[in-house]
Chains A and B, each alone.
Chain A
Amino acid sequence: GQNIDQPTEMTATEGAIVQINCTYQTSGFNGLFWYQQHAGEAPTFLSYNVLDGLEEKGRFSSFLSRSKGYSYLLLKELQMKDSASYLCAVRYYNTNAGKSTFGDGTTLTVKP
């Protein structure tokens, strides 16, 4: 089966940097995604890692280590609008359509 762990809640200050960790155990790994989900809204795609290393997209960066089954999402220059749930999802394939297993999500609260 697939198993994903991420912290339930985190709090950070506006303008600061926060790192949200995700560990996973999976078979047939084919990529790791990070999504942002504001309360009452759909998840929106943030980043994707399939190879080891760091992917940077503006204020957001995501890192992957496949050997360690570990990823993190780094958010810089935090803004109040970054308060949301951040979902780590592992993608794997056994058909022509991929399957994603999602973590429980990390609720990030950004304070002034």
Chain B
Amino acid sequence: ETGVTQTPRHLVMGMTNKKSLKCEQHLGHNAMYWYKQSAKKPLELMFVYSLEERVENNSVPSRFSPECPNSSHLFLHLHTLQPEDSALYLCASSQGRQQGGPDTQYFGPGTRLTVL
């Protein structure tokens, strides 16, 4: 238990569906991240939020839409996905650079997404 929770743990959706992934961190951190992990590929950074402001958008298709309403919650809204978007989606949080220290990222358990 890392203090970062994600729901749902598993999600199967059709290409025309709209769904949302939720992440919550109980660590008092200021930065939150979305990563995508596909089979046989390294972790890919998708979005970074620092103090609820999006500071990074790594050329992610617009069918993925992040939302960070406060420093403890992060959402990833999904619509019109493609089968190649099937992957493990991981949320992480960290203290943020302004706090000093190593700024270690702590990961949630992930949502296993399958797009049919």
Contact = CB atoms under 8 A, between A and B. Distances in A.
Interface stretch (B14-22, B59-67, B75-83, B91-99): B91-99
A41 B94 CA distance: 19
Contacts of A99: 45, 48, 56
B53 to A, nearest CB: 9
A102 B49 CA distance: 18
Interface in B1-40: 2, 4, 30-31, 33
Interface in A51-72: none
B74 interface: no
The residue in B2, B4, B30, B102 that gathers the most chain A C-beta atoms within 10 A of its C-beta is B102
B87 interface: no
A96 B31 CA distance: 9
Contacts of A27: none
Contacts of B50: 95-97
Interface size class of A (residues with CB under 8 A): 20 to 34
A84 to B, nearest CB: 14
A104 B109 contact: no
Interface size class of B (residues with CB under 8 A): 20 to 34
A43 B94 contact: no
Nearest to B55: A95
Contacts of B45: 99-101
A4 B94 CA distance: 22
Contact of A33 (B2, B90, B104): B104
A105 B94 CA distance: 21
B102 A97 contact: no
A97 B107 contact: no
Given A44-B2, A102-B42, A105-B42, A97 B96 contact: yes
Contacts of B51: 96
Interface of A: 4, 31, 33, 35, 40-45, 48, 50, 87, 89, 91, 93, 95-105
